[in-house]
Chain A
């Protein structure tokens, strides 16, 4: 089921699109005219809610509903764009910000109007230097042309927009950690409730949305909620950017209709694994999503189906692992990532990620026993749901799913590593997972 009309990626490779003139020529900044001059704030909010647009950052919560949670009335309210895209495998927001920055700015003005916010921030990860430069230029252009600032287009709405660069911390993609970081602190998640809609940035009501979510807003306002819903499934409306990476022939960003068969994305769009190899497993929504197997490629790629299959659509990042790759190496890299990125605030996550890495290292070097796999699975269960945020869960879920689905391989790996080391226990050799990538499947 190919998409008839690209929505987010239309004209994306035209270099003019990143300039304000080019963006206007392609029909840009019409939606904010409509939102500011022809509609009132409630109508804008209603249209966003009606569209069924779900957050594209990972949680998949209704964007309009989230905006409606902000208290009404005149007070200092904030809008934050979460552009901290750090989920391994995800690179869609990078593309949008670099090549279509004004789409994000227009979407932010619309969301700010809907939420009644007049101070907006883009929290962009520090590593995205090129994208930050592009956005800085675009914001200056938008101010010049009166799409940002006081009384936009002579309406009653004022929106200021500041680009804020992070400094390298995955946890800042978690919305309350993002707020702490934006307040100039260490990026530690906060206890919820209160939710950011009530107490967010500087204690003020705050709406936080992902880049791709906000980029959908202009078309919804311009062409209506009904048009937006005309593609996708009943509960997963619209199109979605998927970032496909790993062992595929054509890695990249693809815009798809939600509900498309997953196999058509992996094999059709991304070309499938290299010649002679098969899909061993795949992450449907970034590295935090439990892995699915080759058989699951027949499923529809939407929020509900992925959840029913025991995983999640997450940020829409599909990472494909082929059958030449030892699963232990993947699990180890994953656990090391979450250990590095754990902020250390909650014990189950701080200690759980650390011990999981240590146990996986022992699996890799052949020092573990199959009983350790049970301990490891147990540690994962004890992390889930026991922390302020889901960073620990994000390791526990995929690791747990790997142990469950590839238990035999874990056990074989322990045995093979032990034998390759002459059967010596506790030897300080480096493990076998790294060397084995690219060799034929055992």
Chain B
């Protein structure tokens, strides 16, 4: 029995011996890991940070304060503020959450509850660059998985750092399928042979696949249409 167990709280971290553990939460579900573990009753809850004791970069503070002013209720600025903090820190680190909490005067736990819900907010350091390969239904029909596999393989084999390569749900660009969002730039239709150029351009800090991004003025779909 662990300390918690002695206090009447079952120790969920260690399964009882001999009993198979049901896999309740599938991979990719929106349920944060550890959701079924009991709270650590010995730990003090994190309070709203004291602004005087929590240094926040001036620019980030100004950005969050400006966001709060745009809404009838300051808490509406939570998601934009977390996105801004993530841009500074690279991820929603405990420090990033503390800084946002100090400016917004909310608890870090509240921010964590929000950050754990949204796909674009990361509670783990996944890298500053993001390659979201859409593998949702429309892209699936035109072999998106092959594109994802090729990019993931190329990134791994060449040791691409500071970059998150992941499958993503529909990005709203099914006319460009199969497509990916590379640091927000929508490119497509992609072929597994594009993986090399995509990974290279991220490493070199170049814009990937010039002329093949939705934002490019000369962008055309392969059949000649405009997206």
Contacts and interface: CB of A to CB of B under 8 A. Distances in A.
Contacts of A94: 172-173
B172 A91 contact: yes
A374 B4 CA distance: 44
A41 interface: no
Nearest to A322: B141
Contacts of A354: 25-26, 29
Interface residues of B, number: 56
Contacts of A182: 76
B144 to A, nearest CB: 9
A186 B223 CA distance: 41
B79 A166 contact: yes
A264 B227 CA distance: 20
A76 B72 contact: yes
A164 B227 contact: no
A287 interface: yes
B48 interface: no
Interface stretch (A81-89, A305-313, A365-373): A81-89
B141 A437 contact: yes
Contacts of B226: 13, 252
B138 A125 contact: no
Contacts of A85: 172
B29 A247 contact: no
Contacts of A164: 76, 79-80
Interface stretch (A25-33, A100-108, A336-344): A336-344
B82 interface: yes
Interface in B161-186: 168-175, 177, 181, 184-186
B124 interface: no
Contacts of A250: 221, 223, 225
Contacts of A321: 141
A125 B121 CA distance: 13
Interface in B59-83: 70-73, 75-80, 82-83
B217 A91 contact: no
A14 to B, nearest CB: 11
B79 A181 contact: yes
B137 A333 contact: yes
Contacts of B70: 162
A321 B174 CA distance: 13
B175 A243 contact: yes
Nearest to B82: A167
Contact of A128 (B117, B119, B143, B172): B172
B28 interface: yes
A210 to B, nearest CB: 13
A126 B83 contact: yes
Interface in A70-85: 76, 85
A87 B140 CA distance: 15
Interface residues on A, range: 35 or more
Contacts of B76: 164, 182-184
B215 A88 contact: no
A169 B120 CA distance: 9
Nearest to A354: B26
Interface in A110-166: 119, 125-130, 162, 164-166
Contacts of A249: 223
B121 to A, nearest CB: 5
A340 B142 CA distance: 21
Contacts of A247: 141-142
Contact of A186 (B25, B26, B113, B172): B113
A230 B29 CA distance: 46
Given A88-B174, A90-B172, A128-B172, A357 B26 contact: yes
A109 interface: no
Given A249-B223, A271-B223, A342-B30, A184 B79 contact: yes
Contact of A245 (B28, B114, B177): B177
Nearest to A338: B169
Contacts of A243: 174-175
A125 to B, nearest CB: 7
Contact of A89 (B28, B119, B170, B217): B170
A344 B169 contact: no
B214 interface: yes
A15 interface: yes
B140 A329 contact: yes
B223 A344 contact: no
Given A164-B80, A245-B138, A95 B26 contact: no
B132 interface: yes
Contacts of A330: 137, 140-141
B31 interface: yes
Given A130-B215, A202-B72, A253 B184 contact: no
B170 A86 contact: yes
Interface of A: 13, 15, 76, 85-91, 93-95, 98, 119, 125-130, 162, 164-170, 181-187, 201-202, 243, 245-247, 249-253, 271, 283, 287, 317, 319, 321-322, 325, 329-330, 333-334, 336-337, 339-344, 350, 354, 357-358, 434, 437-438
28 contacts: A15-B217, A76-B72, A86-B169, A86-B170, A90-B174, A98-B214, A127-B181, A166-B118, A167-B79, A167-B82, A169-B30, A184-B78, A185-B113, A187-B118, A246-B177, A251-B177, A252-B226, A283-B137, A334-B137, A336-B28, A337-B170, A339-B28, A342-B29, A343-B30, A344-B30, A354-B26, A357-B26, A358-B26
The 7 A-B pairs with the shortest beta carbon distances in the complex, nearest first, are: A168-B119, A184-B78, A245-B174, A167-B118, A129-B184, A168-B120, A184-B75
